[in-house]
Amino acid sequence: GERECGEKSGEEWVAIESDSSNVLKRPDLHRMMETTAQKLRLMGGTVELVDIGEQELPNGQTLALPKVVTATFGTDPNKHTVCVYGHVDVQPAKLEDGWATDPYNLTDINGNLYGRGASDNKAPVLAWIHAVEAYQALSMELPVNVKFVIEGMEETGSNGLDAMILAQRDTFFSDVDYIIISDCGWLSRRPALTYGTRGNCYFFAEVEGPKQDLHSGVYGGTVIEPMTDLIGILDTLISPSGKILIPGIREAVAPLSDEEWKMYQDIQFDMDSYKNKIGVTQLMYSNKVDLLAHMWRYPTVSVHGIEGAFSDSGSKTVIPAKVTAKFSIRQVPNMDPAMVKKQVTDYLHSVFAKRKSPNKLKVTMVIGAKPWLADTQHPLYEAGKAAVKRVFDMDPDLIREGGTIPIARTFQDVTGKSIIMMPIGGFDDGLHSQNEKMSRFDATGFTLVSSHFTLQEVLEQETGYE
Amino acid sequence: GERECGEKSGEEWVAIESDSSNVLKRPDLHRMMETTAQKLRLMGGTVELVDIGEQELPNGQTLALPKVVTATFGTDPNKHTVCVYGHVDVQPAKLEDGWATDPYNLTDINGNLYGRGASDNKAPVLAWIHAVEAYQALSMELPVNVKFVIEGMEETGSNGLDAMILAQRDTFFSDVDYIIISDCGWLSRRPALTYGTRGNCYFFAEVEGPKQDLHSGVYGGTVIEPMTDLIGILDTLISPSGKILIPGIREAVAPLSDEEWKMYQDIQFDMDSYKNKIGVTQLMYSNKVDLLAHMWRYPTVSVHGIEGAFSDSGSKTVIPAKVTAKFSIRQVPNMDPAMVKKQVTDYLHSVFAKRKSPNKLKVTMVIGAKPWLADTQHPLYEAGKAAVKRVFDMDPDLIREGGTIPIARTFQDVTGKSIIMMPIGGFDDGLHSQNEKMSRFDATGFTLVSSHFTLQEVLEQETGYE
């Protein structure tokens, strides 16, 4: 049956360690793209693996980017053409990070399927593929032409995809009427449609001192330690109360409108269950509107970690010679990544200069992804609302997404077509975390929504709204 | 010959990954102690593997400590008895840290033997063993009784050794006349004797927030991030110019005397070659006396790294749930580790409280090792100077050591006997760093010094200075 077939693909896909941020996993990532293409070929799609060139690494070396998979099911000029975007690369995951199960072995526990990429974004991609398979299994003609564009670099900033979309604007994308993205989650147990995402500027701040690590007993007190310098500059990014201290960042943010404030008031969101889910007693804001606003439409700074310092368990008395902090700033309208890059780089260099350290600071922006915002009154969203209502028997919440789907903005800018984000997956799926999962119920329900959405499109088309 | 035999032991010893800070390597560490005992047994020593009990881990579990090896060569009551202390555990090392060769495969490059533990402290222990073997090979009677006490927890604070020394004060240590430690290095190419070491208080500062790692896009801005809190408190430990900011620490330090100042002035030390060796353009202090004073007799703070945050290459958009900073404060007269523990813990909690964070801070002192200081006019040091003079044809520098040999202080306090530190190894041996090494020339020279030192002792004994 379809369900078993889908799970077989799910197991196969999750088993491939397609971590796009780890250059050593690049062969796995190439294999993931080939596996995806082969799945679509076997379903009778017209499939291409599009070469998008090479990636330049910080050390100056180059590495082949994973090819982008495009597929076409149906070319009837009398039908609308929908294009589903997804990605099959994943965030890093290791069993020792605290997973209860092997992150690369899809494991069923009480109806939840655990594995890296289960929710972000392998299952959603498969759900759309299953919607097409469902029509095929029922020998029903697809009510629309369906295209897929599936990439393998989303988790590190969709390198090369912008150029590919631009290059194929007048070919693959020329007959596309709208674009569907299912790379986000619901806010509660209530299904949702997403109309905005934050962008992301991801920085490396490297401080380099001695030519190699030093014994902290022998050298401590005589050298100016890179780690002390790095901590000093990181501590100037954001205040304890969440205020970004980099000049210019807060000033660029679009003010919260009364309309937005009212809309946030009505969204189903339980602060206590949210706190309980993440296991904290207190959040940065104690009321719903402030919290949702800072989740979706204000920037923030997160420091992810430091490469090059001692990070294992136990004690090591080392002065690390070169340490690189990884931090990111979420982007919202009307911030501009190029401007943020300059603001952050200038600020850190000025803060560092005050330390009068002989060490060398290098600031690099490795991801610069813009935010995206849609019009919730667009017919696409009306069709989405109707499909959710039909399958789940309730109206979806209209929400935004704190995370980043960098390509939404590009699709909109390059193709001029509208985009809808149809999330799949519970609010507790644990994207990017330990024990990421996708529930069977959500996955099956979403396959139905996908099918009904395309039907809905046909119905609406007949009433001639476009 | 002896040299080949020594190298064979060296290779065998370095090949054992006796990392005492990594609980997963404990079986290797037990094997290292057994290998050491077996070497001494085969030489005809009376050898014991002394059980020193268990270690309590931060998670509450217990783990057997590596046994301490004691060995006795000769029990003639008419001879003096010298006791050589050393350790055969090592600091962590991984090829990917930047080693040019496998750290656990002793590799000869141009007369230097590269490997973790080559200089700290496996070769020096073997050099003393070779001194005994040299007498045996020449069928010469040892001029003194020689004892060995060799431990496997030095790099993590010599857990259990204090109690063992106290327990055996009236047995194994009752006839010991003086103690020799060779667990440090020269300051230049000139041989040296060491008369002081810094102690070390090693801290874990853990900040715990959410119950698991979170996606920084989805949750960034809503949670109070443990990493931000941790960076905030780490940044209050030490100023950019090296001033310790923890109240009470600097006040406890014994002032620098005019005599010391003068002595430091006369020590052979080339600032430029020191800078060049470590690859920096500027040190914390620009004159020799200040630099030596901050290397040897002033405290400092080093932040070694953070456990629990993202530390790999690449980019990961994670909010780490629990992060643990590792930092240490070098101890000098008249600091007291128990007082330092209280000062640091109180200070960090007070700084943390000002942040009004809901996260939990836990400060633990995992190592609390006292400094040690000897009288350079003692006959032991006169004998050491004479032995060095005889082998290397130059007077040794009298130096202190920035690193820690925790047990020196205990030996002195418990046995009441005098201690001499006879360093072996170049100033560029890279202890605790990548590419640690020991030169053949230094190792051979030191074996001769060891032999002559014991002879010297006999000579001095005949002139009746004690």
Domain limits, CATH 3.40.630.10, in chain A: 2-197+371-463
pLDDT at B462: 39
Determine, for residues A210 and B279 on separate chains, whether the beta-carbon distance falls below 8 Å.
Answer: yes
Residues of chain A scoring pLDDT < 70: 1-7, 454-466
| Separation CA B411–CA B432 (nearest Å) | 24
- DSSP states of A162-174: HHHHHHTTTTTTT
Radius of gyration of chain B (CA): 23
Residue B314 amino acid letter: G
- Restricting to A residues 156-185, those with a Cβ less than 8 Å away from any Cβ of B are 156-157, 185
Q: Which of B19, B28, B120, B154 is catalytic?
A: B154
Determine, for residues A318 and B283 on separate chains, whether the beta-carbon distance falls below 8 Å.
Answer: no
- Restricting to B residues 98-137, those with a Cβ less than 8 Å away from any Cβ of A are 98
pLDDT at A165: 96
pLDDT at B455: 62
| Residue of A210, A280, A317 with shortest CB distance to B278 | A210
Domain limits, CATH 3.30.70.360, in chain B: 199-254+297-369
Q: CB of A436 within 8 A of CB of A109?
A: no
pLDDT at B447: 75
Q: Which tokens sit at B299?
A: 């405290």
Active site members of A: 89, 154
pLDDT at B193: 93
Q: How far is A264 from chain B (nearest CA, A)?
A: 15
Q: How far is A381 from chain B (nearest CA, A)?
A: 22
To the query of whether residue B89 is one of the catalytic residues in this protein, the response is: yes
Please list, in sequence order, all residues whose beta carbon lies within 8 angstroms of the beta carbon of residue B311, skipping any fewer than 6 positions away: A305, A306, A307, A308, A309, A311, B305
Domain limits, CATH 3.40.630.10, in chain B: 2-197+372-462
* Widest Cα–Cα separation across chain B: 80
B2-197+372-462 is classed in which CATH architecture?
Answer: 3-Layer(aba) Sandwich (3.40)
Residue position matching structure tokens 């643990």:
B324
Q: How far is A346 from chain B (nearest CA, A)?
A: 20
A and B: number of Cβ contacts within 8 A? 344
| Residue of B156, B301, B305 with shortest CB distance to A311 | B305
Contacts of B227 in chain A (CB under 8 A): 302-305
**In the beta sheet, which residues pair with residue B47?**
B71
Query: Which stretches of A271-412 are assigned E, i.e. beta strand?
Result: 301-307, 318-319, 322-331, 360-369, 372-373, 397-401
Q: How far is B352 from chain A (nearest CA, A)?
A: 10
pLDDT per residue rounded down to tens, chain B (466 residues):
344 445 678 899 999 999 999 989 999 999 999 999 999 999 999 999 999 999 988 777 889 999 999 999 999 999 989 999 999 999 999 998 889 999 999 999 988 889 999 989 998 899 899 889 988 988 888 889 999 999 999 998 888 999 999 999 999 999 999 899 988 788 877 889 999 999 999 999 999 999 999 999 999 999 999 999 999 999 999 999 999 999 999 999 999 999 999 989 988 888 998 999 899 999 999 999 999 999 999 999 999 999 999 999 889 999 999 999 999 999 999 999 999 999 999 999 999 999 999 999 999 999 998 899 998 888 889 888 888 888 888 889 899 999 888 788 888 889 999 899 998 877 777 777 788 888 877 777 777 777 777 665 554 543 333 3
Contact A289/B at CB under 8 A: no
Q: CB of B25 within 8 A of CB of B95?
A: no
ipTM over 0.90: no
| Separation CA A445–CA A449 (nearest Å) | 6
Determine, for residues A219 and B295 on separate chains, whether the beta-carbon distance falls below 8 Å.
Answer: yes
**CATH code matching the domain that covers A2-197+371-463, chosen among 3.20.20.20, 3.40.190.10, 3.40.50.300, 3.40.630.10:** 3.40.630.10
3-state SS string for chain B: CHHHHHHHHHHHHHCCCCECCCHHHHHHHHHHHHHHHHHHHHCCCEEEEECCCEEECCCCCEEECCCEEEEEECCCCCCCEEEEEEECCECCCCHHHCCCCCCCCCEEECCEEECCCHHHHHHHHHHHHHHHHHHHHCCCCCCCEEEEEEECCHHHCCCCHHHHHHHCCCCCCCCCCEEEECCCCCCCCCCEEEEEECEEEEEEEEEECCCCCEEHHHHCCCCCCHHHHHHHHHCCCECCCCCECCCCCHHHCCCCCHHHHHHHHHCCCCHHHHHHHHCCCCCCCCCHHHHHHHHHCCCCEEEEEEECCCCCCCCCCEECCEEEEEEEEEECCCCCHHHHHHHHHHHHHHHHHHCCCCCEEEEEEEEEECCEECCCCCHHHHHHHHHHHHHHCCCCEEEEECCCCCHHHHHHHHHCCEEEECCCCCCCCCCCCCCCEEEHHHHHHHHHHHHHHHHHHHHHHHCCCC
Determine, for residues A212 and B240 on separate chains, whether the beta-carbon distance falls below 8 Å.
Answer: no
Please list, in sequence order, all residues whose beta carbon lies within 8 angstroms of the beta carbon of residue B366, skipping any fewer than 6 positions away: A315, B58, B156, B157, B202, B203, B204
Would you tell me how many other CB atoms lie within 10 Å of the CB of residue A268?
A: 13
Contact A305/B at CB under 8 A: yes
Q: Which tokens sit at B114?
A: 């590269």
Q: Are strands A318-319 and A112-114 parallel, antiparallel or unpaired?
A: unpaired
Q: Which tokens sit at A315?
A: 């004690």
How far CA A7 is from CA of A95, A106, A112, in Å, comes to 22, 9, 12
Contacts of A57 in chain B (CB under 8 A): none
Q: How far is B267 from chain A (nearest CA, A)?
A: 16
Residue position matching structure tokens 């020096």:
B124
Q: CB of B263 within 8 A of CB of B377?
A: no
pLDDT at B456: 59
Q: Is A284 helix (H, G, I), strand (E, B) or coil?
A: coil
Determine, for residues A232 and B213 on separate chains, whether the beta-carbon distance falls below 8 Å.
Answer: no
* Topology (CATH) of A199-254+297-369: Alpha-Beta Plaits (3.30.70)
Determine, for residues A235 and B235 on separate chains, whether the beta-carbon distance falls below 8 Å.
Answer: yes
- Residues A185-225 have pLDDT tens digits of 888 778 899 999 999 999 999 999 999 999 999 999 999 99
pLDDT at A7: 62
Residue A262 amino acid letter: K
Contacts of B356 in chain A (CB under 8 A): 240-241
* Widest Cα–Cα separation across chain A: 80
Cα A375 to its chain centre, rounded Å, is 21
Q: Are strands A318-319 and B318-319 parallel, antiparallel or unpaired?
A: unpaired
Determine, for residues A242 and B219 on separate chains, whether the beta-carbon distance falls below 8 Å.
Answer: no
- Restricting to B residues 352-371, those with a Cβ less than 8 Å away from any Cβ of A are 354-359, 366-367
Instruction: Residue B295: name the closest of B185, B392, B183 by CA.
Output: B185
Q: How far is A279 from chain B (nearest CA, A)?
A: 5
Half-sphere exposure of A267 (CA within 13 A, CB side): 28
- Restricting to B residues 29-88, those with a Cβ less than 8 Å away from any Cβ of A are none
